[in-house]
Amino acid sequence: MRESFSPKPLQMLEEISRVQNPNIANILNVYFHEERLIIVSEYLDVSLLDLQFNRLPPEEWEIATIVSEIINAMAYLLKMFPGFEIHIDSVRLSLQGDVKLVHDMHYQSSPAEYDPQPQYNSEFLVGILEVLMQYGTSCGRGWSPEAMEFSLIQASDSLSPFMEHVFLTKSVSSSKLIPRVRLATQILSCQGSSGGIQWLPDANLQPLHG
pLDDT at residue 35 tops 80: no
Q: What pLDDT is stored for residue 84 in this prediction?
A: 64
Give the pLDDT mean for 33-50.
82
Reference 52, options 196, 210, 187; nearest CA is 187
Share of the chain above pLDDT 90, in %: 38
Q: Collect all residues with Cβ–Cβ distance below 8 Å to 33 and sequence separation of at least 6.
A: none
Q: What pLDDT is stored for residue 99 in this prediction?
A: 96
What is the rounded distance in angstroms from the CA atom of residue 8 to the CA atom of residue 113?
A: 9
Question: Picking from 40-54, 93-107, 114-128, 184-198, which range would have the lowest pLDDT averaged per residue?
Answer: 114-128
- Kindly indicate the confidence band of residue 137, based on its pLDDT and cuts at 50, 70 and 90: confident
Domains of the chain: 44-106+115-193 (1.10.510.10)
- Kindly indicate the confidence band of residue 38, based on its pLDDT and cuts at 50, 70 and 90: confident
Q: Collect all residues with Cβ–Cβ distance below 8 Å to 99 and sequence separation of at least 6.
A: 23, 65, 66, 69, 70, 91, 92, 93, 174, 177
